[in-house]
Amino acid sequence: MSASEIQPAPLPTAEDVDAAAARLLGFAVRTPLVFSPVLSERAGADVFLKPETLQRTGSFKFRGAFNRMVQIPEEARAAGVVACSSGNHAQGVAAAAKILGMPAVIVMPHDAPALKRDRTRALGAEVVGYDRRTEDRDAIARAIATERGAIMVPPYDDPHIIAGQGTVGLEIVQDLAALGRVPDLVAANASGGGLVAGIALAVKRVAPQARVVVCEPAGFDDHARSFRSGVRERNAQPDGSFCDALLAPTPGAITFEITRRIVGEAAAVTDAEVARAVEYAFRELKLVVEPGGAVALASLLEGRLGVSGGTAVIVLSGGNVDAETFARCLAAA
């Protein structure tokens, strides 16, 4: 095996999601599926929430990171791992590394929220900063991995990461099945697309007619544009939205190969609309959601999902918001 990466695998399948769920048992939190009467009345459908805000490290990212890293052979763990992230993947990787007894280096932009940088360090990871406008984070991470013989843990474009994130969708369909239901719609936030790709694998196996919708910040709707053109489109700017968790430059190659075939639908909302969703989640749902975690909720509240009856699930993908940003959302709504 190369010192830099696990050997690449074929496109992940729903069975890979099942295997990831077995690996995560006892490590990841099985977050609840919560019926929301207030959202259901507003949307004219039965709306359930999947609050990954309650996941270990405050976002879904721990699932994929742990599923990837637990498969690293024991003899390759001493050199550690390297990852790039603005914060949520950083914390997921750092937490998984701590559990597995591995060193971790995280390449994070200088403008990442201080809360996320501090929590990543608190989990024992080394943080290396970079300027997202002038420096290439992947090149920095590759250089570190080569120097240390460490293994790269990508934020989304990796079969093991996608399968781990897919356990969100697996839990959704299992919990709905216990209620005698199948989903008609599942909406999830997307940056590189690992979460929505994994969810789609799990959901479409049980409910092939279900709509799975990618939700993005306005101006960073690379998935929507890629679905229309049939090729991976890039965002014009590396920053410009306070949804810091959702600013990947383009869909992942592996994730897009999945989502273009079994998703193909997207919605976008502005920062102002996201701020209103953050405030709504706090006021009506009693949940703290970060801006990047509230984009699917905003898409529902703003009528962008085309919901008309049936059973809808909104994934709240993260809750790692600093006090200043949260207060600004509450004040602006």
CB atoms within 10 A of CB 308: 11
d(CA 105, CA 141): 8
Identity (one letter) of the amino acid at 244? D
pLDDT tens for residues 38-69? Answer: 999 999 999 999 999 999 999 999 999 999 99
CB crowding 88-106: b at 16 or more within 10 Å, else e = bbbbbbbbbbeebebbbbb
d(CA 270, CA 237): 15
pLDDT tens for residues 87-112? Answer: 899 999 999 999 999 999 999 999 88
d(CA 106, CA 126): 6
**245 pLDDT higher than 70:** yes
What sign for the dihedral angle of Cα 201, 306, 319, 114?
positive
Burial of 30 (0-12, 13-18, 19+ CB in 10 A): middle
What is the per-residue pLDDT for 331? Answer: 93
d(CA 292, CA 134): 23
